[in-house]
């Protein structure tokens, strides 16, 4: 692993991207992203053609958010204020201020059953997270196939 690679460089794995479906907006995208979104914003400041995901208007768009783990708070605030459906892939860390902020919107919290192998930059190996990952979402619902990978024991009864 190169010295420059950190958790901010990790991409949502293709299998998760395939199972979450499509969204109107991915505000934390990059050129390697597997997420299907009508509009994307870039975390790469060198990518001048795409907008800053925090500065753009989310309106009532459905939003996928896999934020940079070094600075989740501004994304947690934006998600909490967002009126439309959203889903975020995060590390499970209820000891943080950003987690408390995100819980203000009373979202659904669904931990993944296994540690996630995130994708790094080209030429870099995939990296298994040394923390549990969780989908946190509001006004959105996982497919049955995705739900099988989540700790959602009541999903079948609720469907």
What is the predicted pLDDT for the residue at 48? 54
Tell which CATH architecture fits domain 7-158.
Answer: 3-Layer(aba) Sandwich (3.40)
What is the predicted pLDDT for the residue at 157? 47
Residue 44 CA, distance from chain mean position: 16
What is the predicted pLDDT for the residue at 3? 39
Closest CA to 40 of 18, 59, 64, 19: 64
What is the predicted pLDDT for the residue at 47? 52
* C-beta separation of 27 from 50 below 8 A: no
| pTM (predicted TM-score) | 0.87
What is the predicted pLDDT for the residue at 73? 97
Location of structure tokens 């080209």: 122
Closest CA to 65 of 13, 12, 6, 21: 12
What is the predicted pLDDT for the residue at 4? 42
pLDDT, one tens digit per residue, over 67-100 is 998 899 999 999 999 999 999 999 999 999 999 9
3-state secondary structure of 159: coil
Residue ranges per domain, the chain? 7-158
* Mean pLDDT, the chain cut into blocks of 10 residues (159 residues total): 53 95 95 93 62 88 94 97 97 97 96 91 79 96 95 60
3-state secondary structure of 63: strand
Neighbours of 99 (CB within 10 A): 19
């Amino acid at each position: 692993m190169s010295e420059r690679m950190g958790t901010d460089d990790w991409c949502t794995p293709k299998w998760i991207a395939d199972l979450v479906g499509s969204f109107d907006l991915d505000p934390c995208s990059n050129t390697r992203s597997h997420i299907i979104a009508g509009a994307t914003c870039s975390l790469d400041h060198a990518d001048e053609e795409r907008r800053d995901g925090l500065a753009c208007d989310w309106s009532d768009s459905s939003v996928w958010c896999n934020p940079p783990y070094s600075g989740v708070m501004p994304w947690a605030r934006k998600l909490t204020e967002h009126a439309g459906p959203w889903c975020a892939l995060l590390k499970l860390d209820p000891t943080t201020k950003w987690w408390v902020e995100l819980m203000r919107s009373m979202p659904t919290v669904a931990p993944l059953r296994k540690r996630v192998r995130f994708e790094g930059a080209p030429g870099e190996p995939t990296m298994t997270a040394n923390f549990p990952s969780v989908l946190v979402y509001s006004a959105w619902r996982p497919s049955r196939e995705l739900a099988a990978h989540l700790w959602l024991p009541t999903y079948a009864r609720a469907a």
